[in-house]
Structures are given as structure tokens and as C-alpha cells.
Amino acid sequence: MRYLHIANARVIDPASEMDSVTDVYIANGKIKAIGHRPDAGEIEETINADGQWLIPGLIDLGGHLPEPGYSQKGSIDSETLAAARGGFTHICSLPDTKPVADTSAVIKLILEKAARAGHTRVLPLGAMTQGLEGEQLASMYTLAEAGAVAMSNARQPIRDSYVLRRLMEYAATYDIPLFLCANDLSLSDGGCMHEGTVATRMGLAGIPETAETIALAQLLLLIEQTGVRAHISQISTRRAISMLRQAREGGLRVTADTPLANLIYTDASVTGYNSLYNVQPPLRSERDREALVAAVAAGELAISSNHRPHEIAAKKAPFSDAESGMSQYDFFLPHAMALVNRGELTENQLIRALTLIPAKVLDLNQGITEGNDFNAVLYQPAQEETVAANLLASRGHNHPLIGKTVIGKVNAVFIEGVQVC
């Protein structure tokens, strides 16, 4: 057996609660030994990882791939390369493509294109309802068979409680997990930012917290009634965290994530009408942001990308007319590490929210443990880099770090032992 030998890396693995400088030996895509040289076989290659971290590959519970349908915004090739460079080994793609991912053909197309590109693994989310219209159920069983790991309706709401109940019951029958966004459209419609002081000052129509919390209450009650496996995507408010906590204390098995942008930015960023910060869910108050960070620290939330690349014209418009979303995949890990550098999270808390918690949601084994697939990132935590548009792999240049300096660099990403970048 011939081994890849990673020497002297600081291995941070929340799953095994490991944090120590050691050696890792990989063969046939799997981790064969940690801390000691395997008895048989020879070393094919040694990577000296002095000063670097070896952490599990990041898993994204929700990003938008612009293919099929939005070639002006990027491709599966460009966006999965950006994801790999950001430290992701796996990303869940939201179903709001064109056509919508409500047929097995679209799911297969996404999987094939992602495999051909050979960067980050794509785990497609299928549509819960046909055309994401929230009315008729999509063929969820068929989509799951084709490779969809869970079903989602992106941010399109299911307006009718009856439809929501029935689709949960149907999914529960086949143990198909649902990724649900809490968004009461009758309260959020027309709004383009968090409803609060900044919106009042800017004269922009606001999206109240209740657009999220009222919808979340409805989701939690129906999840309880139907027993469906459910994950809540893209939580943005302090109140939603306490509702989720209460539901879990009552015995409900429900997980949740928050987009990275909501952990780093607040509605104050909208001052000056910079359309870059027009995102869904909206950037909320500092109080909400602090509560989200605290929930991540407590291990209650995964961090998702909510990556949404746009062409320049889509953002070059007055704030409320600009398309919402941020390009996030490039530099994702250093971007997220800002939370550690600011002292808001520990390394372990951040990495857990990016790897272990999403892995549990998806039933994946993603840990630096003997016998596991080698899905991992080599990260140089001290290196500074100034982000420029020409350094982005994503076709979406609506990236909040352009022109800024980040600390930390993804040096290598491995998927099943193969270095993808």
C-alpha cells in the first residue's frame, strides 16, 4: 500500500474532539492512520504541513448554483471550483434553477456536470413542489432516487398550510428529509431589508422578524404533527433561535442553519444603499447577529453559504431593484474565520458548525478519524491575502471581500483522498 503522508499538521476535528499536531496517513482515499506510521506499506508523498491546520472538509447546507438556466451568472464548473477553493468538499444545491430541480432529469444533469467538473461534490436538493409554486407535490421519491439528498422549496413559501401538512406527511412516509425556509411571504413581500431603524432612515421597505418567526411557528407545529425529518434553512433572527431551542427541549428533532453573511454583517451595512448587501434572508440587527453567533457557539446552528452569484448588471441598480444575494464560495473559510479572529467563536466552534453539524444533518461521516474517507482541508491560518475580482473562481463578482484583506488561506482540499485544489 502506498501512502500520502501529511506531516506535522494541527488536526482539528470536532467529531473526535481532537486538536493536536500530528501526522495523518492516507491510502485508497481513506484515512489509514493518525499519529503513527502504518505497519506495512511505503510513503508515496509527504506534505510538510508545519504551521497548517488539517480540518474536515466544509459541508454547505445551501448554495445557489446558477446552472441550469442562468449561464450569465456562472456555471456548475465555475461555482464548484469556487466552493472547493473556499474549503468545501460537499455543497447542497438549492432547487431554484431554471428549469426547477423538480424532475430527475435536472437532478441527474446537476450531478453529471458536477462530476465532470471534478471540484466540490454536489448534493442536490430536489424541489418539494412542482415549479416551487407551493401547490402540487413534486415527485419527491423519484427525485431522492435520482440523487437528491433532501427536498427544499428554496425561499418560495408554501402558502397553504394544507399543502405543507400533506407534503410533510408524504415525505415522512419515505423518510425523505425536508429543508424548510421560514418566510411568511405576506409579511416579507415588497420588503428588501430588515425592518428597523436603518430601513426607516433609508426609506426602504422592511421585512419584519415576524415574517420569519410566524412561518417558523407554523413549520415547527407541522413538523411535530407529521414527524418528518426536517432542517430549517437560513435562520436570521434572535427570536427564531429561542423558538428552535424550545422545540428541541420539547423533544422535537429539528436542526437549523444560518447564512455566514448573517453572522458577519448587519443591516447597518445597507447604509449608503450598497446593493451588495441586498440579501435574503435580510441582514438583521446587531442583536440578532449576536444571538446567531451565540447559537453557533452553543452548537445549535450550522453555518451555510447561501451563495448566490450574480452578473454585474444584476447588482448595478437602485437597492430595492437589485437582485438579492451574495457570492460567497471563494474565500469562504477565511471569511468565516473572521469570527474566530475577532474572538467571537473558538476554532472548534466554527469548524464544528461548518463540518460536523451539517454532516449530521446529511448523515455523512466527515471527520478526521481512521477509516473515514479523507475529505479534508489544509489551511494556513496566518497568511494574509488581498481579495481581488480576478482571484475569484465564481463568475459572481458580488463578493463582499473584494478589495479587502483576509487572514488565512486554503492551501489544499482533498475529496476521498484526491486533491481537488
Partner 1 sequence: MINDSYSDPNKVQLTEDGRLKHFLTTEGLSRELLTEILDTADSFISTQERAVKTVPLLRGKTVVNLFFENSTRTRSTFELAAKRLSADILNLDIARSATSKGETLMDTLWNLEAMYSDMFVVRHADSGAAHFIAEHVTPNVAIINAGDGRHAHPTQAMLDMLTIRRHKDGIEGKIVAIVGDILHSRVARSQIHALRTLGAAEVRVIGPGTLLPRDIEALGAVPFYDMKKGLADCDVVIMLRLQKERMQNALLPSEGEFFKLYGLTEEKLAYAKPDAIVMHPGPINRGVEIESAVADGSHSVILNQVSYGIAVRMAVMAMAMSGQQTPIITEENA
167 touches 138 (CB < 8 A): no
**Nearest to partner 1 of 201, 342 (CB atom):** 201
Which of 313, 365, 405, 418 binds partner 1 (CB under 8 A)? It is 313
User: Can residue 406 be called a binding residue for partner 1 (CB under 8 A)?
Assistant: no
For partner 1 (CB under 8 A), the number of binding residues is 32
The torsion region of residue 106 among left (phi > 0), alpha (psi -120 to 50) and beta comes to alpha
55 touches 61 (CB < 8 A): no
Q: From CA 60, how far away is CA 90, in angstroms rounded?
A: 6
**Nearest to partner 1 of 140, 192 (CB atom):** 192
Least distance from C-beta 327 to partner 1, angstroms? 10
User: Can residue 197 be called a binding residue for partner 1 (CB under 8 A)?
Assistant: yes
User: Can residue 316 be called a binding residue for partner 1 (CB under 8 A)?
Assistant: yes
Q: Which of 134, 172, 139 is nearest to 153 (CA)?
A: 134
Which of 16, 139, 320, 346 binds partner 1 (CB under 8 A)? It is 320
Return the range that interacts with partner 1 (CB under 8 A); candidates 122-130, 135-143, 267-275, 361-369: 267-275
Whose cell is 448566490? That residue is 308
Return the range that interacts with partner 1 (CB under 8 A); candidates 92-100, 192-200, 369-377, 405-413: 192-200
User: Can residue 239 be called a binding residue for partner 1 (CB under 8 A)?
Assistant: no
Chain centre distance of CA 246: 24
**Nearest to partner 1 of 315, 335 (CB atom):** 315
> For the window 145-184, what string marks contact with partner 1 as x by the rule CB under 8 A?
----------------------------------------
Q: From CA 61, how far away is CA 421, in angstroms rounded?
A: 21
User: Can residue 205 be called a binding residue for partner 1 (CB under 8 A)?
Assistant: yes
Q: Which of 335, 366, 372 is nearest to 352 (CA)?
A: 366
Which of 10, 32, 289, 315 binds partner 1 (CB under 8 A)? It is 315
**Nearest to partner 1 of 81, 199 (CB atom):** 199
Q: From CA 240, how far away is CA 292, in angstroms rounded?
A: 9
Return the range that interacts with partner 1 (CB under 8 A); candidates 116-124, 136-144, 237-245, 319-327: 319-327
Peptide bond into 56 cis (omega under 30): no
Within residues 269-288, the interface with partner 1 by CB under 8 A covers 269, 271-276
Cell numbers found for residue 74? 456562472
Helix (H) or strand (E) holding 332: helix 332-341
In eight-state DSSP terms, residue 205 is P
Return the range that interacts with partner 1 (CB under 8 A); candidates 71-79, 142-150, 296-304, 398-406: 398-406
What is the C-alpha R_g of the chain? 21
151 touches 161 (CB < 8 A): no
Least distance from C-beta 354 to partner 1, angstroms? 26
The angle that helices 104-117 and 76-86 make with each other, rounded to 10 degrees, is 60
Least distance from C-beta 267 to partner 1, angstroms? 11
> For the window 24-43, what string marks contact with partner 1 as x by the rule CB under 8 A?
--------------------
Which of 1, 105, 115, 317 binds partner 1 (CB under 8 A)? It is 317
Cell numbers found for residue 172? 415522512
Which of 27, 109, 202, 241 binds partner 1 (CB under 8 A)? It is 202
Neighbour-count burial of 85, counting CB atoms closer than 10 A to its CB (0-12 exposed, 13-18 middle, 19+ buried):
buried
Which of 23, 96, 184, 195 binds partner 1 (CB under 8 A)? It is 195
Give CA separation, 212 vs 115, 181, 239, 316, in Å: 36, 8, 9, 28
Where along the sequence are the contacts to partner 1 (CB under 8 A)? Answer: 195-197, 199-206, 269, 271-276, 312-313, 315-321, 389, 397-398, 402-403
